[in-house]
Each structure stands twice: as C-alpha cells, then as structure tokens.
Chain A
Amino acid sequence: MPEELPAGPACPHCRAPLTGSLCNTPGLVHCAACGGSLQASVFPALFRPLEKGTSGERIGLEGDAGCFYHPGRKAVLACEACGRFLCALCDVSLGGQHLCPGCIETGKKKGKLDNLNRHRVLYDDVALALAAYPLVIPFVGWICSPLTAPACLYVAFRYWRAPMGVVRRSRWRFVLAILLAVLTLLGWAVLAVALVWAARSKR
C-alpha cells in the first residue's frame, strides 16, 4: 500500500524526522520524539534527485547510425551480446554490461543472466526430503518408502546438472539422498528375501 514518508531519514516507529546526529551511529540511539531504540544508516542516494529517463536523440545528420529498434533515433552504442546498435532508450545496463531488450529477454528465458534470476527450485532438497522423510515418519512413511526411494533416485539423477541456488551450494544433499534411497531399497529387498526364505522353510 503506498504510504506517505518523510523525504529525509525518519524514525521507523513514529516517522519523526531524524537529525544528522542520530544517523550513522555505531550503536543504538533513542528517537527524540517517541524514545524508541533505533539505528539509522543514511547514504547519499537519499538526497540524490532521481535520474530522469531519456528517450534517445533523433538522427540529425545523414551519416548517423540509427537504433535497431527505433530507426529514427541515434545509436549511441552497440549491444555487448548481439552487437545491435542501440539508442539511449534501448540501452540497458546490467551487471556492468550494456545489453539490448531482446538479449535480456532471451537471457532471462534461458537462465543465462544470473542477475535476473528471481526464483530457483532446489532439487537437491526435494530429493533429500523424498529419501529422508519417509524414514522418520512412523508407519505411513515406512509404507510409502518403496515408492519414494525410486522417486528420489529419479529426481537426483534427472536434476543433477540443473542450476542450484544462486548462492553457492554443493551437491552433498544429492549424494546423501541417493545413499539413503539405495539403503532403503536394499532394506526392502533384504526383507522380501527374508520373508520368502521364511515361507519356504516353513513349507
């Protein structure tokens, strides 16, 4: 919900403006208005006016190169991925690179631009849950384990090379999940053999 805020630094509790002496302190300070304990770190961006957007300059001279997307606008640089000429409007600066909207769209779809990744499925956690939870849930889990163990092996091998979380994660969960699933299946196999053997010896 949009909310009215003081333009400068403010107390998070009562929204009273904070003076400079109450900002960027190493520890907690008390708000002069409400007395609440707080710490506020303020940076120059707070007082910097917002940059105005640019629409790209129109081509003036006949020899000027035009933008690939807006032929009537003057090209100011080339996309670092595809080389297309771009006007100031189409130039998107991302992670130190200048890219065109087309390359950003493609990069986002293919997952090549890490900075645009907003969501990841953690298949290693899925595999570990499939292997471990049935073992720790009494009765219902144990009965389900002959189904969940192969499902765990499928997930582990199918998604072994899938991208992990954005922050570095090792594959130890996959390894542990495979180990647990194999042990579960071995346990069931031993149980089945023992039951058959017991039934035969009774006869």
Chain B
Amino acid sequence: MSRSIYRALPGRGRASNMALSTRHRLWLAPDHLLSVANQGYTEDYKRFYLRDIQSLTLQKTRRGRIINFVLGGFALGFAFWAFYGRLSGWDAVGLWVLAATGAVLLLGVLVNTVLGATCVCTLRTAVQIERLYALPRVRSALRTFRLIRAAAEAAQGALSPEAIDAGNAATRSAGTVTAALSHEAVPLTAKGTKPYRGRAHAALFSVLLLDACHSALLFRWQSVTMYLLGLGILLGLLASIVLALIRQADTDLDASLKRTTWRAMGYVMVSYVLNTAMFYVYMGMTSGSAPRTTPDVWQQMRSMWMTSPFDSPAVFVQEAFSLAGSGVIGAIGWVQWNAFRRRRRQPPPLAGEPPLPVA
C-alpha cells in the first residue's frame, strides 16, 4: 500500500444533512486541506488549497451550555421521578429503568463538559465561506488552526498585524465583496430539484399523530383490541416512513422536512428497541414474581396489554415515550409540511422585485 500523503488533524464533528448525520474530519496534505464528510457508506471530499485559503475563523458558541442545561434538567427529572416511585412503592425493575435513564443523561452532561466549549469554525477563500463541521469544540479547533496556519503560512507567507491593518485600509474602499456562503447554500451532496407535492410526508405525519392519540388513549383504556390497533398503526408508520424516504430523494422538499423524516425513522428504531426491552423487562418481572407457575407467552403478553400505565413504570415509560415522540415529531412535521405547501403556492417574485420573505 502506498504511503498516504494525508495527516489526520485533531477534531471530529457531526452535522445533520439530508441524512441522519454526517461525520466530518479534516486531513492535511502538503498542498491542501481535505474535508471528509462520511455518510456511513459513502464519503464526500472537499479540497482547499493552502495557497487559496484567505482566513480561518472560530466563533465560540453557547451550544454546549444549552445541551448541558437540557440534559441536566432531564436527568434531574428522572431522579425525582425515581425518588417519587420509591416513596410510592413501585417495583424495583421500574425504578432501575428510571435511574439508569437518569444516569445515561448525567453521563451525557459529564462527557459534554469534558469535551469543552463549543464553537463554529469557518474557512474563507476568494469564492466561498465553508463551515468546518469537523471542529465543533474550541480545544481541538485551536490545535487544528495552529497546524493549518503553519502550513498555510509556509505556502503563502505570514501577515503581521500592521500588514493586516494596511490591507484593511487598502480594501476599505472596495467596501464589500459577494461570496457564496456555501455552508448555508450548497450542501456536500448536490441539491435535488425534482418537484414533489409531499403527500407521502403528510401521510407519515398524520400516522405519527394518530400513534400519539393511540398512546394517549392507552392511558385510559387497555384492551387487546387497542394493542392490535397499535400494531396496525406501527406497520402503517413503517410503510409511510419508507415511502416518504424514497419519495424525498432528489426533490425540492425543504431540508428541514427531510431531516424531520429521518428523525422519525430514528425515533421508530429507538421505539422498537425500547418496546423490545420493555417486553423483556415485563416478562422478567412476571416470571420472577411467580417462578413456579410461569404463564405461557400469550398469557404474559395479554397481561401486559391489560396493564394500566399507572400500575407499572415500565409500561408508563413505554407509553409516555410513544406519546411524546410521535406527538412532537408528528406536530413538527405537520407545521413544516404546511409551511412548505404555503411556500409552494406563492408565485415566484418578478424580475427586479425583492424575494418574498421566508416564514
């Protein structure tokens, strides 16, 4: 294997693109900087030649603190919930589930704190400003900037503060320049233009809202029919997600709507894992309580279906997750879909007129 010309730079980051998530990393070659965007099974590359780099900027953000605040808040909520459950005499398995969820959230806070402050980094050339998603943390970004700066200065030479001031004075008369903000306008994958009305997405978000209603009703009514109805809704949800994901490829659908569809996919997968785990937890609880008279699987499933969420924390977590997840994603999806439909109905602006404001 020939020796690679690339040297890995510190920092890895993720960005939501058309797909669920894209992993980004920077590599340094003797004459260029390579930005690699990994989408799981494919990689996209962008090269920035060192002689063309005009500037690198780092802007510290509050994202890390907000994430800590949200995760910490939820962790505290789960801790209080577990405490309340203990006082109310809930079974041990449910308390462990709540405590473990709180611990995972707390671990998230810890990891986020250790990784340090967050930032947004950009690279500017004569024709573009590219956001460097590979550098989401200040610490690694500073280290990477040091390495890129050394390489770029070796290719172009260094600028003293006086030279920068002189350059500023000389270009002040030029006023402003127009550059394409590629991190906002041009994603790494080519933007599709196929027209699409979004019916599959409307169906998906309707089924999600239906699922939320079904989960809400399960807090009041538990029966085998209700659970079979839930199974039907789940199958409908899977079919509509697959259909929406197929239909949205290479279309002019809003990126936010495409992201919400992928999030719905992620939610259904997490929900499947959670439901399977809860089923085993419930099986373990019922088998453990009466080891000598273990009922058959159908009896156990029937008993779980008939259990009120208020009687079992495991069932409560399952239904609350379903209600919150389906409700929130379905509602967000509907709002985005309606905005997309309204925008499509508006006539395009005439030549010379300013574009219509985007809601």
Binding site for B on A (CB under 8 A): 1-9, 11-13, 17, 19-21, 23-24, 26-28, 36-47, 50, 95-96, 115, 117-122, 125-126, 129, 138, 165-168, 170
Take A4-B176, A4-B178 as given contacts and tell me if A43 and B185 are in contact as well, using a CB distance cutoff of 8 Å. Answer: no
Which residues of B151-170 are within 8 A (CB) of A? 152-153, 156-165, 167-168, 170
Dominant SS among interface residues on chain B: mixed
Question: In the complex, how many angstroms separate the beta carbon of A152 from the nearest chain B beta carbon?
Answer: 13
Q: Once the chains are docked, how many angstroms separate the CA of A115 from the CA of B175?
A: 35
Which residues of B129-179 are within 8 A (CB) of A? 129, 138, 142, 145-146, 148-149, 152-153, 156-165, 167-168, 170-172, 174-179
- Cross-chain contact A28 with B60 (CB below 8 angstroms): yes
Question: In the complex, how many angstroms separate the beta carbon of B185 from the nearest chain A beta carbon?
Answer: 5
B42 contacts chain A at the CB level, 8 A cutoff = yes
List, in ascending order, chain A residues with CB within 8 A of B6's CB: 166-168
List, in ascending order, chain A residues with CB within 8 A of B53's CB: 43, 45
The size of the chain B interface, using a CB distance under 8 A, is 69
Question: In the complex, how many angstroms separate the beta carbon of A34 from the nearest chain B beta carbon?
Answer: 10
List, in ascending order, chain A residues with CB within 8 A of B160's CB: 20
Which of A5, A43, A95 has the most chain B CB within a 10 Å cutoff?
A: A43
- Cross-chain contact A8 with B172 (CB below 8 angstroms): yes
Segment of B44-52, B210-218, B321-329 in the binding face: B44-52
Take A9-B164, A44-B159, A119-B43 as given contacts and tell me if A165 and B59 are in contact as well, using a CB distance cutoff of 8 Å. Answer: no
List, in ascending order, chain A residues with CB within 8 A of B60's CB: 28, 36-38
> Chain A residue with minimal CB distance to B179?
A5
Within 8 Å by CB of B57, from A19, A39, A125, lies A39
- Cross-chain contact A5 with B178 (CB below 8 angstroms): yes
Q: Once the chains are docked, how many angstroms separate the CA of A6 from the CA of B167?
A: 12
> Chain B residue with minimal CB distance to A1?
B185
Q: Once the chains are docked, how many angstroms separate the CA of A196 from the CA of B60?
A: 66
List, in ascending order, chain B residues with CB within 8 A of A3's CB: 178-181
Q: Once the chains are docked, how many angstroms separate the CA of A55 from the CA of B163?
A: 33
Question: In the complex, how many angstroms separate the beta carbon of B3 from the nearest chain A beta carbon?
Answer: 8
Binary contact track B174-207/A, C-beta < 8 Å → 1, others 0: 1111111100110000000000000000000000
- Cross-chain contact A7 with B175 (CB below 8 angstroms): yes
List, in ascending order, chain B residues with CB within 8 A of A121's CB: 41-42
- Cross-chain contact A122 with B57 (CB below 8 angstroms): no
Take A4-B178, A39-B145, A43-B153 as given contacts and tell me if A24 and B168 are in contact as well, using a CB distance cutoff of 8 Å. Answer: no
Q: Once the chains are docked, how many angstroms separate the CA of A118 from the CA of B62?
A: 33
Question: In the complex, how many angstroms separate the beta carbon of B139 from the nearest chain A beta carbon?
Answer: 11
> Chain B residue with minimal CB distance to A168?
B4
Which of B47, B124, B138, B156 has the most chain A CB within a 10 Å cutoff?
A: B124
List, in ascending order, chain A residues with CB within 8 A of B47's CB: 115
Within 8 Å by CB of A7, from B59, B129, B161, B171, lies B171
- Cross-chain contact B156 with A43 (CB below 8 angstroms): yes
Q: Once the chains are docked, how many angstroms separate the CA of A138 from the CA of B269?
A: 12
List, in ascending order, chain B residues with CB within 8 A of A119's CB: 42-45
List, in ascending order, chain B residues with CB within 8 A of A125's CB: 40-41
- Cross-chain contact B179 with A46 (CB below 8 angstroms): no
- Cross-chain contact A165 with B36 (CB below 8 angstroms): yes
- Cross-chain contact B45 with A5 (CB below 8 angstroms): no
- Cross-chain contact B159 with A24 (CB below 8 angstroms): yes
B27 contacts chain A at the CB level, 8 A cutoff = yes
Take A44-B156, A166-B36 as given contacts and tell me if A19 and B41 are in contact as well, using a CB distance cutoff of 8 Å. Answer: no
List, in ascending order, chain A residues with CB within 8 A of B148's CB: 41
List, in ascending order, chain B residues with CB within 8 A of A122's CB: 38, 41-43
- Cross-chain contact A166 with B54 (CB below 8 angstroms): no
Question: In the complex, how many angstroms separate the beta carbon of A50 from the nearest chain B beta carbon?
Answer: 6
Q: Once the chains are docked, how many angstroms separate the CA of A124 from the CA of B152?
A: 34
Question: In the complex, how many angstroms separate the beta carbon of A199 from the nearest chain B beta carbon?
Answer: 24
B281 contacts chain A at the CB level, 8 A cutoff = no
> Chain B residue with minimal CB distance to A128?
B41
B92 contacts chain A at the CB level, 8 A cutoff = no
Which of B8, B60, B158, B165 has the most chain A CB within a 10 Å cutoff?
A: B60
Take A24-B159, A41-B145 as given contacts and tell me if A2 and B164 are in contact as well, using a CB distance cutoff of 8 Å. Answer: no
- Cross-chain contact A166 with B159 (CB below 8 angstroms): no
> Chain B residue with minimal CB distance to A10?
B57
Take A24-B159, A39-B57, A120-B43 as given contacts and tell me if A47 and B177 are in contact as well, using a CB distance cutoff of 8 Å. Answer: no
Question: In the complex, how many angstroms separate the beta carbon of B26 from the nearest chain A beta carbon?
Answer: 10
Question: In the complex, how many angstroms separate the beta carbon of A47 from the nearest chain B beta carbon?
Answer: 4
List, in ascending order, chain A residues with CB within 8 A of B156's CB: 43-45
Within 8 Å by CB of B138, from A5, A23, A28, A40, lies A28
List, in ascending order, chain B residues with CB within 8 A of A40's CB: 55-58
List, in ascending order, chain A residues with CB within 8 A of B276's CB: 138
